[in-house]
Amino acid sequence: MTKVLVSDPIDQAGIDILSQVAQVDVRTGLPPDELRAIIGDYEALMIRSGTTVTAEIIEAADKLRIIGRAGVGVDNVDVPAATKRGVLVVNSPEGNTIAAAEQALALMLALSRHVPHAHASTMAGGWDRKKYVGNELYKKKLGVVGLGKIGSHVARVGKAMGMDVMAYDPYVSAERAQQMQVRLLTLPALFAEADYVSLHLPRTPDTENLVNAELLKTMKPTARIVNCARGGIIDEAALAAAVENGTIGGAALDVYAKEPLEAGSPLRSVKERLILTPHLGASTEEAQENVAIDVAEQIRDVLLGLPARSAVNIPGLNAEVMEQLKPHLQLAETLGQLISQLAGGPISELEVRLQGDFAVHPAQPLVVAALKGLLSTALGDSINYVNASLEAKERGIHVLEVKDDASRDFAAGSLQLRSRSPQASHSVTGAVFAEGELRITSIDEFPVNVVPSRHMLFTRHRDMPGIIGELGSLLGEHNVNIASMQVGRRIVRGDAVMVLSLDDPIPPTLLASVLAINGIQAAHPVTL
């Protein structure tokens, strides 16, 4: 009989669903060695955050077909190891949407009316009504940073409460924003104008400490900020100082850079106008039941031979096919990341062109991988191979797939992505060389031959003497080491592109100096 192991506490509703198709063994709190010893008997594993599924455990799981995480994050699962073994990893990206959105709204209201501090004062025998005079949300300006599912719900409720809702999301089209009746602003403009800011972003290298002392200084002294998304997006020391010295009107946090919140955190010393809760965003009875049901249904469906709806890794491909396509999928995802950062704003259309031998490969996985890369800068781990197409559609991105088997620029073919927006269009082309080595072969139709690296700088410039030397000197002055450099041009003394692979990221302050170099027309730092 098919067997499912449940290694963390889940709602009984999930166990009931699994029991329809399998023998369900609930064994919580297993040490890693014990889990590894027994996992070979099971076709499915259902977990929450308590179980860490390592590559060693997956290697011992001879029968395992699916790992289900009852929640959103899958950082406790070695997804690459599971993918290599052909094991599906599924989560519940929508099960706690309402719970997380309502937590943000609850904190916003509690912050406005001083609820926790007034409660504490009253319980201590006080009756200080004047001290705790609050503010109404009606007609206030709400800035929503990130218009994913949770952020969109907060925006809708804010509108229903009579708030003037604005948003920052570089991957949402103007048409989509208009449908939602929100104003799209730049991040600095939103922080400067908003009375309330609610963050709904993943934690990525680009969003880490996004809200820093400099950004907080641009806010109104009466403005308040709420974070129920991910810890680490806000510089916590800077926030504590901004609340204490009156730079902003208050803050409410449900998530922290390190959890549990450290005893020595500067946030703990703030006595007024700050609300701290212990990561309660998904902690509702309804959300716990929803994620258990959602993931249990997906496990049941996979065991019955049906597709999963929220696979984190590649669905519908066996291990052999997946291994064959692995470098091509990596290339598609890398080019997607690259073109999203070159575009630097909303994209209305993405053309995915499979050229030469690339055209004989299954197109859909490559298209989805490109979209995953395109959206990963904004959405982080929440974007996967299943939801990438839907997320792109929701953001108003039209996807065009083109196969051109006649194009023979490289023996093994190539993949080209072309983005279009009202402001500009960009194109990037790549190929897979011997032993799976990835190469970027053109940028905006300029020929190059570059191995992708973690930190890169792309410039568009006039082909004239001195530019390369001046840029190299500038980076050297700022202790940014150049690993490799290449220039691509079509005609002598015309326009050209320069690609630099760097050992270090480009500081934002340095980018302005790069753009100030005579002859440089555009500069795009890229993190892959």
The pLDDT tens digits for 47-75 are: 988 899 999 999 999 999 999 999 877 87
Could you say which of 259, 272, 323, 437 is catalytic? 259
CA angle centred on 470, ends 466 and 473, rounded to 5°: 140
Domain limits, CATH 3.30.1330.90, in the chain? 317-452
For residue 105, what pLDDT is reported? 98
DSSP 338: H
Closest CA to 60 of 78, 76, 72: 78
Query: What dotted CATH number matches 454-528?
Result: 3.30.70.260
Ranked by mean pLDDT, which of 93-102, 216-225, 297-306 comes out on top? Answer: 216-225
Q: Are strands 349-355 and 414-420 parallel, antiparallel or unpaired?
A: antiparallel
Question: Which CATH code is given to the segment(s) 317-452?
Answer: 3.30.1330.90
Q: Do residues 168 and 190 lie in contact, with contact meaning Cβ atoms separated by under 8 Å?
A: yes
* Helix/strand/coil (H/E/C) assignment for every residue in 494-521: CEEEEEEEECCCCCHHHHHHHHCCCCEE
Q: What is the pLDDT of residue 411?
A: 65
Specify the pairing of strand 446-450 against strand 438-443.
antiparallel
Evaluate if residue 315 carries a pLDDT over 60: no
Of the residues 156, 183, 279, 309, which is catalytic? 279
On the question of a cis peptide bond just before residue 80, with omega within 30 degrees of 0, the verdict is no
Catalytic residue among 203, 230, 361, 395: 230
Q: For residue range 253-270, what is the model confidence (pLDDT) as tens digits?
A: 999 999 899 999 999 999
Question: What is the H or E stretch that residue 102 is in?
Answer: helix 97-112
Is a pLDDT exceeding 90 seen at residue 381? no
pLDDT digits (tens, 9 = 90+) for 335-353: 999 999 998 888 889 999 9
Q: What integer best gives the mean pLDDT of the chain?
A: 90
The pLDDT value given to residue 314 = 65
Evaluated on CA atoms 306, 373, 334, 89, the torsion sign reads: negative
* Spatial distance between the Cα atoms of 188 and 240, rounded to a whole number of angstroms: 20
Is 244 tagged catalytic?
Answer: no
Return residue ranges of the chain for CATH 3.40.50.720: 3-93+287-313, 97-276
Residue 386's pLDDT is what?
60
Would you state the pLDDT for residue 185?
Answer: 96
* Highest CATH level, class, for 3-93+287-313: alpha beta
39-68 core/surface letters (b: 16 or more CB in 10 A; e: else) = beebbbbbbbeebebbeebbeebeebbbbb
Tell me the per-residue pLDDT of 445-492, one tens digit each, with 9 for 90 and over.
Answer: 999 999 999 999 999 989 888 888 999 899 998 889 999 999 988 888
Is residue 119 among the annotated active site residues? no
Known catalytic residue at 454: no
Q: Which of 21-30, 358-367, 421-430 comes out lowest in average pLDDT?
A: 358-367
Q: Residue 250's pLDDT band (boundaries 50, 70, 90)?
A: very high
Angle between helices 508-515 and 467-477 (to 10 degrees): 160
Phi-psi region of 466 (alpha: psi -120 to 50; beta: other; left: phi over 0): left
Report the 10 Å Cβ neighbour count for 220. Answer: 15
Q: Which residues contact 241 (CB under 8 A, 6 or more apart)?
A: 213, 247, 266
List every span in the chain annotated with CATH 3.30.70.260: 454-528
**How would residue 77 be classed by pLDDT, with cut points 50, 70 and 90?**
very high
CATH fold of 97-276 reads Rossmann fold (3.40.50)
Give yes or no for a contact between 199 and 233, defined as CB atoms under 8 angstroms apart.
yes
C-alpha torsion angle, residues 435, 438, 439, 440 (rounded to 10) = 160
Q: Give mean pLDDT, residues 185-206.
A: 93
Per-residue confidence (pLDDT) for residue 22, from 0 to 100: 96
Nearby residues of 47 by Cβ (< 8 Å), 6 or more positions away: 6, 7, 8, 53, 67, 68, 69, 70, 76, 77
pLDDT exceeds cutoff 80 at 247: yes
For β-strands 425-432 and 3-6, DSSP reports them as unpaired
3-state secondary structure 442-476: EECCEEEEECCCCEEEEEEEECCCCHHHHHHHHHH
